[in-house]
Amino acid sequence: MRVARLDSETDFAGWRSAARTLRDAGVAPEAAVWTVSGEGDLFGEPPPTPGVAQHGFTVPKGFMDLAERVILHRSEQRFALLYRLLWRLQAEPNLLRIVSDPDVARARDMASNVNRAAHKMKAFVRLRLVAEGPEETYVAWFEPAHRVVEATAPFFARRYANMNWSILTPDACAHWDRQSLSFTPGADPAEAPTEDALEDYWRTYYASIFNPARLKVDAMQKEMPKRYWRNLPEASLIPALIAAAETRTSAMVAEPPSEPNRRVVRQAQRLSRDGSFEEGAPSSLEEVTAGVDFCRRCDLWRDATQGVAGEGPAKARLMLVGEQPGDQEDLAGHPFIGPAGKVLDWALAEAGVPRAETYVTNAVKHFRHELRGKRRIHQNPTTRHVEACRWWLDGERRIVRPRVIVALGGTAAQAVFGKAVPIAANRGKPLALSDRAQGVVTYHPSYLLRVPDAAEKARAYAAFVEDLKLAWALAA
């Protein structure tokens, strides 16, 4: 096994150099392990001695363009996938044209996820004035789906060339001083600031990145004359920071280097961030729709196109809850519009229930899937996803206050009732719910599409229509 260590999660130059060395040394993809340590040599072991060097092999430009994008994806497999493609390109020079090849399809899909994340970042970053006066400073907080901060920063530098600004993200922070771009490590997502708290957050952040070892008071006062301090949000911190600098410097020198486990840190950050949601529940369906798209309560948002909230009248008497958006719903942003939606539409029509008078939503608001070749294959959401997303479903229930809630399938029943409710044993009758609505459980329309036996399929479909009739009658 050869271990290739990269400097950072987005170290493209490091990946390219390590990949070239491994390939020239004849190290097969299965024998290479990729890791990000930010320290030490490129290789964990002595560097591979050049073996069967593949001189004369040139990498197609299209591959490098693709690789530059893919490396920004959050998947932990990306370095290995790219190396496998590079390796295969030697024997299969036209590989990248075979879009049905699983490696090629995966890499292309990752590249388009990254492009989408960059596009969203360009569209949704909102810079906010945090310091007035001659040194006006703007700050934004943003959480990109993939690691696109460095790649999109030049766009903001061109667009806001005459402003000082910082874009703070959990991966890296970009800063522009009207002349040059610089980057510092990511800010803490556990403390993602609200719009109003951004200025305070900026002060805290500034204090945390303030490196006393680099402090040069004279130079700092020259760059930032005292008369401007009162206009800068971070200025109130400066005297205390200077006073503490010497002590902190000695402490930093004495401390052994520590390397916290990134996974543990992230998990802790995620959990504490989830907690902060409890402070404000949505009070309108518009808030739900906007909030769902930015939801970070679990990680399904990363590879989904968008969050899909429920749709229907705010005072609908009947609420229908499905499992999660499917492929088509994910692309279009509306619930139940694909094949399962068609089955639901037929059954509603047969049951005499106008869909336009119902509120249709899902237990989980982002599409969980796995890529196989070019196809995005549905994956059941886990209990953790259902629990994380229940916050939105509960919000929708509080706002709409339906008289009857129909859970379509087991996942929806789990979300609606807060416990497992087997469908076959409990369908066809009203069930009590804690919010005084009545509950009905029935089959999921996708199940009706999958039943192999024709007679059983017809029976289950008829039962489904009966359940919808019952729900409509209860809601009347």
Number of residues that bind ligand URA (CB under 6 A): 13
Any contact of residue 329 with ligand URA (CB under 6 A)? yes
Residue of 4, 140, 300, 340 interacting with ligand URA (CB under 6 A)? 340
Q: Tell whether residue 307 is a contact of ligand URA (CB under 6 A).
A: no
- Minimum CB separation of residue 256 from ligand URA in Å reads 52
Instruction: Answer yes or no whether residue 381 interacts with ligand URA by CB under 6 A.
Output: no
Smallest distance, ligand URA to C-beta of residue 339, A: 8
Contact at 8 Å (CB) between 469 and 441?
A: no
Q: Which stretch in 58-66, 242-250, 290-298, 337-345 sits in contact with ligand URA by CB under 6 A?
A: 337-345
Q: Cβ closer to ligand URA: 165 or 336?
A: 336
CB of 317 to ligand URA, least distance (A): 20
Of the candidates 176, 336, 447, 464, which one interacts with ligand URA according to CB under 6 A? 336
Q: How far is CA 120 from CA 117, 131, 306, in A?
A: 5, 26, 11
Residues 6+ apart with CB under 8 A from 243: none
SS (H, E, C) 11-56: CHHHHHHHHHHHHHCCCCHHHEEEEECCCCCCECCCCCCCCCCCCC
Please identify the residue of the shown chain whose CB is closest to the bound ligand URA: 322
Closest CA to 469 of 442, 451, 448: 442
Strand, coil or helix: 154: helix
Q: Which residues contact 328 (CB under 8 A, 6 or more apart)?
A: 337, 338, 339, 341
Site for ligand URA in 215-274 (CB under 6 A): none
Query: 340 or 440, CB closer to ligand URA?
Result: 340
In this structure, what are the phi and psi dihedrals at residue 183, rounded to the nearest 5 degrees?
-130, 145
Q: Reduced to 3 states, what is the DSSP secondary structure of residue 376?
A: strand
- Minimum CB distance to ligand URA, residue 36 (Å): 37
- Based on the number of CB atoms within 10 Å of its own CB, is 436 exposed (0-12), middle (13-18) or buried (19 or more)? exposed
**Contact region with ligand URA (CB under 6 A), list: 18-26, 115-123, 212-220, 318-326:** 318-326
For ligand URA, the binding residues in 445-474 under the rule CB under 6 A are: 446
Candidate list 307, 322, 395, 402; residue touching ligand URA; CB under 6 A: 322
Nearer to ligand URA, 79 or 336 (CB): 336
* Distance between CA atoms of residues 402 and 383, nearest Å: 24
Q: In the bound complex, what is the minimum distance in angstroms from residue 336's beta carbon to ligand URA?
A: 4
Q: Show contacts with ligand URA in window 407-446 (CB under 6 A).
A: 446
Write out the two tokens for 365. Answer: 């608001």
Return the range that interacts with ligand URA (CB under 6 A); candidates 134-142, 198-206, 325-333, 429-437: 325-333
Q: Is 20 exposed, middle or buried (0-12, 13-18, 19+ CB in 10 A)?
A: middle
Q: For residue 274, with 0-12 CB atoms within 10 Å meaning exposed, 13-18 middle and 19 or more buried, which class applies?
A: middle
Place of tokens 């370095």: 79
The binding site for ligand URA (CB under 6 A) comprises: 322-326, 329, 335-336, 338, 340-341, 362, 446
